[in-house]
Amino acid sequence: MELKILKVILWPKNKEFKYRELNFRTDKVNVITGGSGRGKSALISIIDYCLGSSKIRIPTGLIRQTTEWFGVVISFNGRQILLARTLSKGTNELSNDMFKDEGQSVPIPDEITSNYTVDDIKKLLNKVMGYADIEMENNGRTSSWEAQRPSYRNAISLNFQPQYIIANPSTLYYKADSTADREKLRIIFPYLINAIDNRTLELREELKLLKREVLMLSRELKEKQDLSQSETAELKNYFNLAKELGLLKDYSFENDDLNKEQYTQYLLQIQEKFKEDQLPTIEVGITADMVNRLTTLREREYDLSMRLSTLRERSMTLKDLNNSAIEYRKSLLIQSDRTKAVGWLKTLFNSTIICPLCGSNEEHTEHYLDNIQSVNASISELGDQVEDSVKVYSSEIVKTQGQLSQYERELNNLRREVGELEERDTEFKRSRQAVTSIFRFLGRVDQILINLNSGNENRELMERIVGKEERIKNIETEISDDKSDQVKRFALAKISEYIRVYAEIFKPEKLDANINLDIDNLTLKFISKTGARDYLWEIGSGRNFMAYHISTMLGIHEYLASLEQSKVPSFLMFDQPSQVYFPEINDDKAEIGSEDMEELKRIFQALDLFVTRTKGKVQVILLEHAGETSWKDYQNLTKVYRWRDDEEDKALIPDEWY
């Protein structure tokens, strides 16, 4: 990813003055030299703040007191993006208000009005930088940091080496001095060095979903299989009952001990025969006309009963839906009542940010009230939609009740006629009981066959499980840990090789050991020829720490520059690495002893070699006390600003601003 720093811009609170603009080269080591208190170190905090930091590390005091907006112009794949961020009004603390402009060449506006939030910018940059919107995994373990999706904000740890980090024995990376930040960086590190790519993350996410689906389907299949074991006995009972009712009189069975499929087949034949013949012929000692009439009435009664059953189910469903909608509407009204008072509160904040209830000073109050008012509007709109649904359900309920009443009247009339006919003969009453039993039997058979049809889904479930397990196997083969580990081992070996190249310039201790970048512990590991292992924090001396910090950052970025695609912005910022040699250099023209100068020049020699080896693909910004005499012999280093009292441009904040 070719993301570099073109400009840093500061807009003053005093509108009488023009904005402050710092320009940088993208293919060189940009050196800003000057004394203490000039604002050099603040540049790292300013750039990080403009890139969406969740904390503000810009020094309090003059810089925050005089500056209203901080901005950075970055180059990204041939385009320019201006990102600016302000401070909260009144307190000069963290603000979520940002400004963005983009184009082939972005003009610097004299005044700025927020048009984005920090979250907007993070989402946008994550998208254009190609970060996957998928959670990272932690070798099967779950942690609170795992929920974090990979972001360029994690990669920022590899871009900055502020003064308190560059010679730190315990912390090698920026923003890795807390447990939470260290864990995030540890998890995402293989992704940053391309040992894991977006395709792998997507397949891991698919794999996780597939395994969850297989587990659910397996549970469903087991439940159905358990149910199937009790179904055979139930089918046999219905089979025997069918024989008692005379529904199987045309069949002779020497052995009634059949299997489940045979019982099911005979019951299905009864069901099909009933559909064709409606009812078996009932011959009783009454006239043929009465028998025919009763048969017709029974057929009609059955038809009406089925229609009534269907309508009753529809009516109950509509009533349940209607009641649910009414309850939901009540819930929405309660929510609306709770939030509608925000309009009154908002009017009280039009001219003040002092809370009228508790008297506290709340800089985000108006933003919060706007959000609550927006939620209230959404609740009202949703309530209107639910009200419309209630009207539709009510209309359908009325219509269904009308149909129910019509069928019930017709059924009652039909049953009265049947009753009159049945009273003519007691023998027919007995036959009526038989027909009723058949109706009940056929109804129960219908239900058990429906359940059996559901049971027949077992084969489909098994096929689905097999298909998903096959996909799981293919994914696990494609993203096997062996492949990822092989890429990771290669990347770490190359980076460790590059670290040694630069470390040999500094000549620190432990050069005789095997140097390894340890991304699990986020440090360097030194393995001696005897097999003894030491970590960076154990070797001692600020000079050693500084040497390995710079060498590590250069080694990582040289490897990233060799990749076709990198997720890490292609710039590095070092703040005063010479502090380990000279804690304070008040005069950059002062003479420095030859031995001290030789050690100091090793810093610039390493940076010069880095630019040569990477062919200028990675931008370097160096913030230093040491003057030009110590690095003027290196062609890849260029002075961009010198902030001293004898210069017209003395510091980051111009004199006229305060």
pLDDT at 72 over 70: yes
pLDDT digits (tens, 9 = 90+) for 578-606: 988 866 555 555 556 577 788 889 999 99
The pLDDT, as a whole number, for residue 147 is: 47
In this structure, of 160-169, 376-385, 632-641, the range with the lowest mean pLDDT score is: 376-385
pLDDT digits (tens, 9 = 90+) for 535-552: 999 998 899 999 999 999
Among candidates 288, 186, 192, which has minimal Cα distance to 563?
192
The pLDDT, as a whole number, for residue 604 is: 96
Burial 284-310, CB ≥16 within 10 A → b, else e: eeeeeeebeebeeebeebeebeebbee
The pLDDT, as a whole number, for residue 384 is: 79
pLDDT at 141 over 60: no
Share of the chain above pLDDT 70, in %: 81
The pLDDT, as a whole number, for residue 282 is: 46
CA distances from 1 to 152, 569, 601, 609 (A): 11, 6, 30, 21
The pLDDT, as a whole number, for residue 396 is: 87
Contact by Cβ (8 Å): 626, 582: yes
The pLDDT, as a whole number, for residue 611 is: 97
The H or E element spanning position 3 is strand 3-12
Q: Is 398 exposed, middle or buried (0-12, 13-18, 19+ CB in 10 A)?
A: exposed
Share of the chain above pLDDT 90, in %: 39
Mean pLDDT of 465-486: 82
What is the C-alpha separation between 22 and 616, in angstroms, rounded?
20
The pLDDT, as a whole number, for residue 344 is: 67
Q: Is 522 exposed, middle or buried (0-12, 13-18, 19+ CB in 10 A)?
A: buried
DSSP 279-311: S-----SS-HHHHHHHHHHHHHHHHHHHHHHHH
* Segments of 152-292 assigned E as strands: 160-161
β-bridge partners, 11: 69
| Cα–Cα–Cα angle for 447, 449, 453, rounded to 5 degrees | 120
Kindly report the backbone phi and psi dihedral angles of residue 232, in degrees, each rounded to the nearest multiple of 5, phi listed first.
Answer: -60, -45
Contact by Cβ (8 Å): 367, 333: no
In this structure, of 362-366, 385-389, 570-574, the range with the lowest mean pLDDT score is: 362-366
How many residues comprise the chain? 658
What is the C-alpha separation between 152 and 567, in angstroms, rounded?
7
Q: Is the pLDDT higher at 427 or at 607?
A: 607
Strands 523-527 and 533-535: antiparallel
pLDDT digits (tens, 9 = 90+) for 187-237: 889 889 988 877 877 887 788 888 888 898 888 888 777 766 666 667 777
Mean pLDDT of 5-34: 95
Q: Is the pLDDT higher at 94 or at 460?
A: 94
The pLDDT, as a whole number, for residue 221 is: 81
Among candidates 72, 39, 28, 67, which has minimal Cα distance to 163?
39
Query: What is the crossing angle of helices 198-244 and 426-455, to 10°?
Result: 160
What is the C-alpha separation between 364 and 357, in angstroms, rounded?
15
Chain centroid to Cα 223, Å, comes to 34
Half-sphere exposure of 88 (CA within 13 A, CB side): 15
Place of tokens 């292992």: 533
Q: Is the pLDDT higher at 460 or at 168?
A: 168
pLDDT band at 335 (very low <50, low <70, confident <90, very high): confident
Domain boundaries, the chain: 287-424
Q: Is the pLDDT higher at 490 or at 361?
A: 490
pLDDT at 145 over 90: no
Q: Is the pLDDT higher at 304 or at 45?
A: 45
Kindly report the backbone phi and psi dihedral angles of residue 104, in degrees, each rounded to the nearest multiple of 5, phi listed first.
Answer: -65, -35
pLDDT at 250 over 70: no
Place of tokens 């603040």: 42
pLDDT digits (tens, 9 = 90+) for 385-410: 878 888 888 888 888 888 888 888 88
- 354 contacts: CB under 8 Å, gap ≥ 6: 360, 361
The pLDDT, as a whole number, for residue 140 is: 47
Mean pLDDT of 357-363: 63
The pLDDT, as a whole number, for residue 142 is: 42
In this structure, which long-range contacts are made by residues 79-83, counting pairs with CB atoms below 8 Å and at least 24 apart in sequence?
Answer: 79/103, 79/104, 80/6, 80/104, 80/105, 80/106, 81/106, 82/106, 82/108, 83/50, 83/51, 83/121
Is the C-alpha dihedral spanning 188, 194, 195, 196 positive or negative? Answer: positive
The pLDDT, as a whole number, for residue 380 is: 80
Is the C-alpha dihedral spanning 644, 648, 651, 652 positive or negative? Answer: negative
In this structure, of 56-70, 260-274, 513-527, 571-585, the range with the lowest mean pLDDT score is: 260-274
pLDDT at 612 over 90: yes
pLDDT at 530 over 80: yes
pLDDT at 173 over 90: yes
The pLDDT, as a whole number, for residue 285 is: 46
β-bridge partners, 31: 622, 639
Q: Is 327 exposed, middle or buried (0-12, 13-18, 19+ CB in 10 A)?
A: exposed
Query: What is the crossing angle of helices 198-244 and 260-277, to 10°?
Result: 70
Contact by Cβ (8 Å): 513, 528: yes
Whether this prediction's pTM lies above 0.95 is answered by no
pLDDT digits (tens, 9 = 90+) for 490-503: 999 999 999 999 99
DSSP 65-99: HHEEEEEEEEEETTEEEEEEEEPPTTT-----EEE
The rounded mean pLDDT for the chain is: 83
Mean pLDDT of 154-171: 94
Mean pLDDT of 30-55: 94
What is the C-alpha separation between 546 and 599, in angstroms, rounded?
12
